Structure formats: C-alpha cells, structure tokens
C-alpha cells in the first residue's frame, strides 16, 4: 500500500525486527492509546520469572472511563512469526497467569513497585486517581479487567479459527490492532486498524461473526455467566421493557454479542464484568439528544459499516434512568407505519 500526503509518497515500511515495532509503540503510546492512558514498558521493568516465565512487551492502563478503567497485557508481534510455534504458546501462558490468583498478586506487587519508584509514573497515576490508593487500584483493576492487546503489523489468517475454537480465552480476552508504518524520507505515518477507542470491534471479530453467524451454541447464559449483578439487571430490565413494546422482538445470542431483531437488527449488547456496550442503530445526534445519563460514544466509519448502518455506542454502567435508553429503543422497536 502507498499513501500520499502533502506532495509526499509514503511507502509501507518493512519491519524486520520485533523490537523496532515495540519501540514505535512505546514512543507513541499516548498518540495510539490516548492521553488518559498509562503505558509501562514491561521488558525494561519486569524480570523473566514473571508471568510464567514469559515477559510481555508492555502493560497498558486505560483510564479514559473513570468508572470503568481497563488493564491490558500488551504483546507486539510481527505477522511473519509462526503462529502456533511462537504466538500461541506465549498467549497461553498469559491466560494461565490471569487464572492464578497468586500470579496476579505477584504482578500487582511488581507494578506497584515500579510506579512507587518512578516519580513520573507515580505523578501520572495520582493525577488520574486523585485520593485513591495506587496499590488497591492496581489490584482491583487486574482482578476485574483481564485483557490482552495484540499489536501486529499485518493480518494473521490463523486468528479467526483460534478465536472461535478457544472462545473463553482468545475469544473474550484478546483484542487486536493492526499497526502499519509508512515512511517518506524523514516523515512517518502510522495507521491503526481499528483505532484503540474501537478496539472491542477488532477486525477478526467481524470476520468470525460473518463466518459463524448461523451457529446456535451461544446463549444468554454464555454472555451473562461472568458479569456483575448490575449488568444482569440492566440487560433483563431492557429486555423485559422491549418485549412489552414489541412482543415479537427477538433477542438473538451470537458469539460476540446479543442482537435485538425485529426483522432486522436494531441493537447489539456486548458484555464485560461491569459494563454493557449497547450499539443502537440510530443516528448519533438523535441518541445524544435523548440519552443524558450515560456515555454516548462515536463509532468509527469502519465499525458503523460493520453494523450495517448509522449507529453509536452507549456505555451502560448503572441501572438508573434506563427510561432514556427505552426512549431510543422504542423508536427502533415500533414499525414506522404504526
């Protein structure tokens, strides 16, 4: 691929060594992930005995949502690397680490030590956490938010099948960004697909769902089994109220979401422990006008294209004022002719 900007011709760089890509991620972390994130270079900070003998490339704290921060183990890979010989076993160790409580506690201790001994890091955490205690914050976050961010320089054909086969690990925990670098003399352009703010809609999710859209193995119980009680309450209330409006509405579980369908899909629920990401197939400005008690997020054009129309995301973190959401859903549930 060639890019053109300001009379310059940018050619995609050939990344020969993984540490080149790792350096690009570290130096551009705020640009790639956002100003309200904190990135720690793991290989310079963590010894080889951590995480089951394998060291990730970084740790990412996403603090952009104060009520629902997120934690990521970051692994940077080259697409040319052998998947089953190199990438797969490394990620298997990360999954095992998250499952073992004493391993998580060991990492919490190490991360707290890193932050406590680095005045710049400590200052940055304090800026976001205010009066919250850093150690408790890190511990609670790693217990609640367990994600692995794979940053890779090209597509990997093995990923769709692996994410389908290992649904509870690869399918739920791994987020994927394709990072490409383009160079023209001393100028550089990077591209991310998807952007970090839309990482929950990783390209491989879309591909898998298209290939396996007729599978019936996924149920509401599958999606709700690891979520908090308030998340269940939100979903059950919205479902009950929706069926009062249109008893023919269908709640169809798929691999990565539950869709509401009335002949066409009008909304999609995606679940995490403390939050529902609700995609509403309605113009963003309309939704913002009706919904004041929840965060409404813009979705990238590529994500809207995947959902097949104009849409936006609402983050549901509490069950108060769900009537605002129902105002939008009613517009979608009731046929225009009635």
Query: Could you tell me if 91 and 170 are in contact, meaning their C-beta atoms sit under 8 angstroms apart?
Result: yes
Same domain, 242 and 205: no
The CA distance from 207 to 210, in Å, is 5
The pLDDT of 202-209, averaged and rounded, is: 50
Indicate the pLDDT class of residue 338, thresholds 50, 70 and 90.
very low
Q: What is the pLDDT of residue 255?
A: 80
Mean pLDDT, rounded, of the chain? 89
Reported as a single tens digit per residue, the pLDDT across 156-171 is 999 988 988 888 899 8
The greatest distance separating any two alpha carbons of the chain, rounded to the nearest whole angstrom, comes to: 65
The CA distance from 139 to 282, in Å, is 38
Query: Could you tell me if 250 and 263 are in contact, meaning their C-beta atoms sit under 8 angstroms apart?
Result: no
Higher pLDDT, 59 or 200: 59
Strands 147-152 and 174-184: parallel
Cβ count within 10 A of residue 228: 15
Same domain, 267 and 187: no
Q: Look at the chain and report how many structural domains it folds into.
A: 2
Same domain, 252 and 203: no
Can you list the alpha helix ranges (DSSP code H) found in the chain?
Answer: 18-27, 29-33, 88-99, 101-116, 119-129, 134-144, 159-165, 172-173, 203-211, 220-224, 229-245, 284-290, 301-306, 322-333
**Rounded to two decimals, what is the model's pTM?**
0.80
Same domain, 158 and 18: yes
Look at residue 113 and tell me if it is in a domain. yes
Reported as a single tens digit per residue, the pLDDT across 239-286 is 999 999 999 999 999 888 999 999 999 999 999 888 999 999 999 999
Q: What is the pLDDT of residue 68?
A: 84
Q: In the predicted model, is pLDDT for residue 66 greater than 50?
A: yes
Look at residue 338 and tell me if it is in a domain. no
The pLDDT of 167-191, averaged and rounded, is: 92
* Structural domain boundaries enclosing 205: 2-211
Q: What is the pLDDT of residue 193?
A: 87
Same domain, 224 and 182: no
Look at residue 272 and tell me if it is in a domain. yes
């Amino acid at each position: 691929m060639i890019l053109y900007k300001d009379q310059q011709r940018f050619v995609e760089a050939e990344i020969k060594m993984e540490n080149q890509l790792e350096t690009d991620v570290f130096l551009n972390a705020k640009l790639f992930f956002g100003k309200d994130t904190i990135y720690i270079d793991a290989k310079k900070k963590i010894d080889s005995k951590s995480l089951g003998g394998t060291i990730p490339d970084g740790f990412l704290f996403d603090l952009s949502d104060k009520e629902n921060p997120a934690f990521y183990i970051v692994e940077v890979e080259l697409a040319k690397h052998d998947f089953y010989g190199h990438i797969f076993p490394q990620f298997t160790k990360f999954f095992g680490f998250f499952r073992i409580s004493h391993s998580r506690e060991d990492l919490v201790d190490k991360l707290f030590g890193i932050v406590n001994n680095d005045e710049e890091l400590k200052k940055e955490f304090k800026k976001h956490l205010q009066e919250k205690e850093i150690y408790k914050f890190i511990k609670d976050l790693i217990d609640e938010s367990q994600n692995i961010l794979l940053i890779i320089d090209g597509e990997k054909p093995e990923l769709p099948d692996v994410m389908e086969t290992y649904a509870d690990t690869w399918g739920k925990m791994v987020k994927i960004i394709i990072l490409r670098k383009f160079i023209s003399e001393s100028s550089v352009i990077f591209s991310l697909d998807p952007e970090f703010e839309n990482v929950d809609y990783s390209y491989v999710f879309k591909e898998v769902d298209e290939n396996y859209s007729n599978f019936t193995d996924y149920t509401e119980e599958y999606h709700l089994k690891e979520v908090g009680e308030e998340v269940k309450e939100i979903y059950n209330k919205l479902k009950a109220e929706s069926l009062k409006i249109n008893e023919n509405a269908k709640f169809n579980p798929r691999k990565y979401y539950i869709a509401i369908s009335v002949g066409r899909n009008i909304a999609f629920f995606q679940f995490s422990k403390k939050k529902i990401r609700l995609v509403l197939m309605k113009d963003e400005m309309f939704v913002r006008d009706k919904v004041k008690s929840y965060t409404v997020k813009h979705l990238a054009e590529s994500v809207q294209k995947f959902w097949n129309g104009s849409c936006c995301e609402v983050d549901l973190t509490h069950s108060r004022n769900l009537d605002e959401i129902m105002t939008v859903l009613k517009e979608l549930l009731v046929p225009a002719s009635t």
